[in-house]
Structure 1
């Protein structure tokens, strides 16, 4: 079969022949239709991710969408090495795949699964979100943040506030469900002024995809402006804005802010899979939208390192 084959650490995968996996007890054989190119897929293929085993060769790709031998369309996560998602066929533990709606486009499903899970799990598992609450999404112009706006609204948020730096995407977020947008392209004092009225009205949940300076500004601003004793839950999901921040202890002493994280480790793995299932089953009814760039796996060399902009690259297994 054709696959994205990793032959050594530090080298990008090559489009090549690889032995197809064979049936195994407790596992499911899947004919792959689509698999998204994620940061984790790249990192694991390079050997930089903590889950890399150091055993070669293997097929890249941590998840995807395809059909079981009975024809049912499924989402799958975590193929059994050396199998991977970026191949015509893969082998997955039975507990790590589930049926998805037949009418959901496989490219869309593959693109949406992990970024959609990030906000769904953060809201339901960590923030214990209740319909009618106000949600602020810090870093809403990326693929995950855009979905977070839509998911928060679908789950019943009364008010969604979105922050980001990309002006065009910020303006588009209002059509996706954001009630207010705030540019991060301003200094800390100006950002405090921009969000002050929202915090004074009460923000219940912050979903933070950035960390770094913008998260610090929001936390200090919230401590100043939230009503006394207002129990805001700040859920940290991603750190593309910076790995660390300096947070004065007074921010937590002077407020009822709860700092939480959401991801593997803070949420049980089976609950993360459940979140993916719920996102994909809600996708059509909620009209969840994600920008995608679908390319044949044969064009792996061209697209592996390429920047797809705000679209999510999804490899398809068509010849």
Structure 2
């Protein structure tokens, strides 16, 4: 997975410094230490010097690179450097960038910050299609070179592990595409009408649909024919974010040896009004859904 965006830089703004400091916060390495900036040539990059060079840049490009099998990579930094070297070749310019590896979630990932100018000091322009798809394709090629092609068995095992997840999965996306391709929006899983699916693919879809029905976002209107809730994707994304928040809260409380019953835990949306003030001490900070923005989850000890 590669998430990419560009951020306009305003003169005198401290946004770039805040973002860089956030990426180097405590607890993001394997041993819980602060993150360490590195670059194409240095294992310990100078953050303030990077910000000084970037002063006056019109924009900044920010990437999150999360290889699906990132835990199997022998050297994340070498992988990132190889990827950025390939990006430089594609864009026909040297790039000034720094990166930080994070291991504080279930999937190791790397944050890359790229200055918004090319090697001639001109505005760096990256096509939207390359940001959306090109970098991901290059990363996938490099990962395949190191780990080898994904076997059919490995792919099936990964999909099987998604069946019970309370979040948006690849199976869900496939079901949504199939529903959009039909006139009535019905996903038809009857054997006679599923010649395009293997028996395993059909089994995975049906088993997942049964889970989606339990979650209230799908319904079997008649045997083998399924209707998907129009808000299914949004609902599953929200469930996934809520699950991530709960995991973050449990990790933070466990690290402080604090026990809380489930009925003592409350989650409030960022736009939700809270009647009574909440006071306490901060146990930890969680990440947003895309981690391209500052933390949005605060944990208070007396909740």
Per the shorter chain, which TM-score range? under 0.3
More strand by share: 1
Specify the structure having the higher radius of gyration (Cα): 2
TM-score by length of 1: 0.22
Relative contact order (C-alpha < 8 Å, sep 6+): which is higher? 1
Structure that is richer in helix per residue: 2
TM-score, with normalisation over the residues of structure 2? 0.23
